[in-house]
Amino acid sequence: MPLDRFVLIIVAVIAAAGATIWLAALVSASFAVPFAWIALAPAALAAWIGWRVIADRVRSQEDDHYDRME
C-alpha cells in the first residue's frame, strides 16, 4: 500500500471520529435548545464536501504519481 494512501486512511479515520463526536454534540444540543437543529445543516454540508474530496482523491489516477516511481 502506498504511503500517501495509508496516511489518507489514518487522517480520514481520525477526522471521522472527531466528526462523530462533534455531530453527537450538535444533535444532543438540538434537543436541549430550540432551533439548534439548524446547526446540523453546516455539519451536513461539511460532511458532504469532505466525502467528495476523499472520493475524488482515491479515484484519481493522476494523483498516484508515487506509484510509478521506483
Read off φ and ψ for residue 57, nearest 5 degrees.
Answer: -65, -40
Closest C-alpha among 1, 3, 50 to residue 23: 50
* Residue 28: band (very low, low, confident or very high) from pLDDT cuts 50, 70, 90: confident
Q: Tell me: the pLDDT tens digits for 29-70?
A: 777 877 766 777 887 888 899 899 888 888 876 666 666 665
Q: Is residue 67 part of a domain?
A: no
Rounded to two decimals, the pTM is 0.47
* Domain span at 22: 3-62
Residues 26 and 40 sit within 8 Å (Cβ to Cβ):
yes
Domain count, the chain: 1
Which of residues 17 and 57 earns the better pLDDT score?
17
Q: Is residue 27 part of a domain?
A: yes
